[in-house]
Amino acid sequence: MRFGRITGVLAGVAAAVAGVPVMASAGAMAPGRGSEPLPARHAGMLMRWAGGTDWMGSFETGGRIVICLSPGKILTAPASWRTGLFGGRAESAELSWLYANGGDSGSNVTAAAARIDMLKVTGGLGYYRGLVIPAAVAAEMSRLQAGMRAGAGPYTRNLAFPRETTTPGQQGAAQLNVVSASHHAVAGLAAGFTAGNALIGAAGRSGRPQPFTELGSPVRVTGSALAPADDLRIGVAGKAFQTLVYGLTARLAASASYSPHPAGARASAVCECDGTGNVTGVITQAAGSDEGRYALLVNGKAAATVTAPAGAGSVILKATAADGAAVTFTAAYLARGRWSAPVALGGAFTVICPATPELAQRCRCDETLTLASPLPAASGYAESLVWTAGGRTFAVPVPAGGARSVAFSVSSGPVTYWADVDRGGTVVASTPRMAGGFAQ
């Protein structure tokens, strides 16, 4: 903040009212004349000082909210106006910030605090000896002073890309940065954006990343924000040469561009139909590409990933997918030390790989075995009809002098059959083993 009087400017204002030409200072415009109606009080309060009471706050004149920067309660004549600097550029920027952030407030406390702070900047507060400042106004003055020191211009600005893209369809971000005279970032100013080879939202804020989608190369983004201007509208009125000001706004614009690295990766897939759907994907990376991280997705979920170094080349990804699954591919690129967000590569592959059907032939063979025992019933010997089928052995007793038949079916494998002669449970003789017909 500056506390010295701006005697040169006040003298120039007096000369302007007297009709004497005023030379425009650096950044200032030659004075213009015009009539304004007498102002009415807008917001503020009467405060006591050694000379009595005076209005601390803003006025409304001609539809404008203005601050009076020189002593005097009553305007005795219409105001004449000019646009330009009030003092130096830094002082004018401080006054402009105070006006924009409090001078046009409808709050009595804020408007009063803004006027007193503006008088401090111009040195005019020294006129009000012993001014009684209420505690609430003093606190608001401190808040405004801190904000002015951090946020007033003259401003510098630039547009940066906190997130660059490398291939069409990828989302990046641009950011309009506004920096105050004290080198503090000024965030939250309403900003507008336009872009070439990219889709970007028109409305945003300074200091905040503004998303965009790359369409091609090169990407160019322009951002602009409205901020308190370094210049003011300055009016003088009355024999006391009361100095009135209201702030102007300036549009701060910045542009930047970059050329995304060519990516142009191609993806293809094949599937071995062995019942499981073993998918092999091939990614072919174009020359000049950044280092890439590629993924094969099955139904939207990553099933395989691989990283490829910068430059041309091919990588292979393998995964298993069920019949009917959707196979897609994504790519991300390492640009300036950061991985970009994944973007989809063109094309999709649907697995057509049903399980291998089981094919089997089955036939049935009907078998009948008959055994007639020639032994006399009183011989004390017994016979059994024995056969094997399907890995199992079966035995059916046949009474002496009698006969027995068995019938069964065979689906596969050989049938072996024979007869055993036993006495007292011990086999004493057997017929030769014979093989029967079997099915396959």
In-domain check, residue 360: no
> Do 95 and 237 share a structural domain?
yes
In-domain check, residue 161: yes
> Do 214 and 274 share a structural domain?
no
> Do 292 and 192 share a structural domain?
no
Find the mean pLDDT for residues 25-34: 28
pLDDT of residue 438 exceeding 60, the answer is no
- Give the length of the chain: 440
Lowest pLDDT segment from 13-17, 164-168, 251-255: 13-17
CA dist., res. 383 & res. 400, Å (int): 7
> Do 179 and 117 share a structural domain?
no
Full-prediction pTM beyond 0.95?
no
Residues 6+ apart with CB under 8 A from 329: 267, 281, 283, 294, 295, 296, 297, 317, 344, 345, 347
Higher pLDDT, 288 or 23: 288
Of residues 311, 238, 319, 228, the one with CA closest to residue 279: 319
Domain boundaries, position 382: 365-436
Is the Cα torsion angle 272, 274, 275, 278 positive or negative in sign? negative
In-domain check, residue 2: no
> Do 139 and 25 share a structural domain?
yes
CB atoms closer than 10 angstroms to residue 302: 13
In-domain check, residue 61: yes
Lowest pLDDT segment from 219-233, 292-306, 400-414: 400-414
> Do 110 and 27 share a structural domain?
yes
Confidence of residue 15 (pLDDT cuts 50, 70, 90): very low
CA angle, 98 as apex, 92 and 101 as ends, to 5°? Answer: 135
Residue with tokens 């071995």: 272
Confidence of residue 39 (pLDDT cuts 50, 70, 90): low
Last residue of a domain, one of 204, 220, 247: 247
Residue 4, pLDDT score: 35
Give CA torsion, residues 123, 124, 126, 131, to 10 deg. Answer: -130
Residue 228, pLDDT score: 94
CA dist., res. 317 & res. 346, Å (int): 16
pLDDT of residue 417 exceeding 80, the answer is yes
> Do 302 and 276 share a structural domain?
yes
CA dist., res. 255 & res. 195, Å (int): 9
> Do 149 and 196 share a structural domain?
no
> Do 88 and 12 share a structural domain?
yes
| Number of domains, the chain | 4
Of residues 234, 2, 247, 224, the one with CA closest to residue 100: 247
CA dist., res. 32 & res. 311, Å (int): 65
Residue 20, pLDDT score: 25
> Do 180 and 42 share a structural domain?
no
CA dist., res. 31 & res. 234, Å (int): 9
pLDDT of residue 33 exceeding 70, the answer is no
Beta bridge partners of 156: 179
pLDDT of residue 359 exceeding 90, the answer is no
Of residues 248, 279, 257, the one with CA closest to residue 196: 257
> Do 238 and 114 share a structural domain?
yes
Residue 21, pLDDT score: 26
| Contact between residue 163 and residue 209 where contact means Cβ atoms under 8 Å apart | yes
Token duo for residue 156: 């510098």
CA dist., res. 138 & res. 141, Å (int): 5
CA dist., res. 342 & res. 353, Å (int): 28
CA dist., res. 201 & res. 355, Å (int): 50
**Residue pLDDT, tens place only, 42-101:** 899 989 999 888 889 998 877 788 888 876 555 556 778 889 998 899 999 999 999 999
Residue 23, pLDDT score: 24
| Contact between residue 42 and residue 35 where contact means Cβ atoms under 8 Å apart | no
Higher pLDDT, 135 or 215: 135
CATH number at residue 387: 2.60.40
Last residue of a domain, one of 196, 219, 247: 247
